[in-house]
Amino acid sequence: MTKISLKEGISWVGVVDWNIRDFHDYVTSCGSSYNAYLVQDEKTALIDTVKATFCNELITHISELTPLEKIDYIIVNHVEMDHSSGLPIIAKLAKNAKIYATARGKEELIKHYGTEFERVEIVKTGDKISLGKKTLTFLEAPMLHWPDSMFTYVIEDKVLMPNDAFGQHLASSGHFDDEVDQVVLMKEAITYYSNILTPFAPLIVKKIQEVIDMKLPIDIIAPSHGIIWRKDPVKIINAYIEWATGKTVKPKVAIVFDTMWDSTNKMARAIGDGIASQGVEAKLFKLRCTENTEIVTEITDSKIVLVGSPTLNNGMFPSVGMFLTYITGLKPKGKLWGFFGSYGWGGGAIRNMTKMTKEAGFEVIEPSIELKWVPTEEEIKKCFDYGVQIAQKAKT
């Protein structure tokens, strides 16, 4: 493989996963990569490994730069298996290497891979490991993405390796931000943020502030998925601050619905027309036609989300239940939520959707709009007027 160099002595040794399309229910249409880095000085450190199924490729990439037994340190930034399941194999080959992780990381490594990882040494924020002229230091980053997560920083080269943070599920033959289409890159970055990191928005803002306070100059951000930010690392930091603080939110309404015999679809379209009549953007997403991954990304810059469901068996439609399960887990902050739907006799979908979202702490617009059987012309007008009211709320 052509050497992929971040700075002198710092190389990408990861793997590109062109074929992955499902990353724990996140639809990864553009594939992904598992980035690992080799830092070579008087001592050699491997930062993270890869998914076990790709371990042979990682071994080949490392071997092109150094024999594995010459690795002195293995840094485990994060234990989730896309980064660590190759570790048991690598640890056997790099038999002289000391392994470092956070306290939670050590605990999780033992639970994942057995007691041989009791030898892992614990590092905390500010700890340093000298490699010679280069020094590694660490920044604990719990919940970005798991309790064990940490960032590794190469002080002299100003290279930050934050593992999951600032990543994208994007397979590419180019490894750097100046080698890929910027629109595709930022689309995959926001999709990744929305589907992986939304629940941790306040922690992201705090962690970025911590990095600023530590006065760590950053030349390169080298995440563990996708493209490395070397041309413009500030671009992704600013984007994260904007997404996490809701600065990109605009008067936009996402209408997420499913339909059984077309009544809820008719309602969705009439509500959307009412919203658009006020100059406010409305986007309709029929569940079973659109992946949750895409809908969640669209919600990041939406002010209001309307969810529509027909009543089935006295409750909400199954696809709506799946969507609400996903979104109430992600808990996007600062949105308003409204509900609409049709029913035949007893109803139940609106009641269940309202209960589920209120229990998750969502702010719900009431009253909802619920119609029996097929909407009449007059009821379609009522939906349009509801859309007009929603547009007014979106503008405030």
| Residues with catalytic function | 24, 78, 80, 82, 145, 164, 192, 225
- Closer to ligand FEO at the Cβ: 82 or 108? 82
Supply the DSSP string of 206-240, one letter for each residue.
Answer: HHHHHHHHTT---SEEEESSS-BB-S-HHHHHHHH
Task: Using alpha carbons, select from 2, 54, 60 the residue that is nearest to residue 33.
Answer: 54
- Closer to ligand FEO at the Cβ: 14 or 233? 14
> Pairing state of beta strands 150-154 and 159-163?
antiparallel
- DSSP assigned state of 53: G
- Closer to ligand FEO at the Cβ: 227 or 270? 227
Binding mask 187-226 for ligand FEO (x = CB under 6 A): -------------------------------------xx-
- Closer to ligand FEO at the Cβ: 62 or 144? 144
Using alpha carbons only, how large is the chain's radius of gyration in Å?
24
Q: Which of residues 284-343 bind ligand FEO (CB under 6 A)?
A: none
List residues bridging with 101 in a β-sheet. Answer: 122
Q: Which of residues 50-89 bind ligand FEO (CB under 6 A)?
A: 78, 80, 82-83
Q: Max CA-CA distance within the chain?
A: 79
Residue 145 within binding range of ligand FEO, rule CB under 6 A:
yes
Least separation, in Å, of the C-beta of 232 and ligand FEO?
A: 23
Residues sharing a CB contact under 8 Å with residue 94, sequence separation 6 or more, in sequence order:
46, 68, 69, 71, 74
118: left (phi over 0), alpha (psi -120 to 50) or beta: alpha
Binding mask 148-187 for ligand FEO (x = CB under 6 A): ----------------x-----------------------
- Closest residue to bound ligand FEO by CB: 80
How many other C-beta atoms are found inside a 10 Å radius of the C-beta of residue 261?
12
Least separation, in Å, of the C-beta of 193 and ligand FEO?
A: 13
Residue 17 within binding range of ligand FEO, rule CB under 6 A:
no
Least separation, in Å, of the C-beta of 166 and ligand FEO?
A: 12
Q: Pull the structure tokens for residue 31.
A: 């594939």
Spatial separation of the C-alpha atoms in residues 360 and 363, rounded to whole Å: 9
Least separation, in Å, of the C-beta of 321 and ligand FEO?
A: 26
- Closer to ligand FEO at the Cβ: 34 or 343? 34
Task: Using alpha carbons, select from 125, 73, 122 the residue that is nearest to residue 96.
Answer: 73
**Which stretches of 263-383 are assigned E, i.e. beta strand?**
281-286, 302-308, 311-312, 315-316, 336-343, 363-364, 369-372
The number of residues that bind ligand FEO (CB under 6 A) is 9
- Closer to ligand FEO at the Cβ: 259 or 293? 293
Residue 41 within binding range of ligand FEO, rule CB under 6 A:
no
Least separation, in Å, of the C-beta of 169 and ligand FEO?
A: 9
Which residues of the chain form contacts with ligand FEO (CB under 6 A)?
78, 80, 82-83, 145-146, 164, 224-225
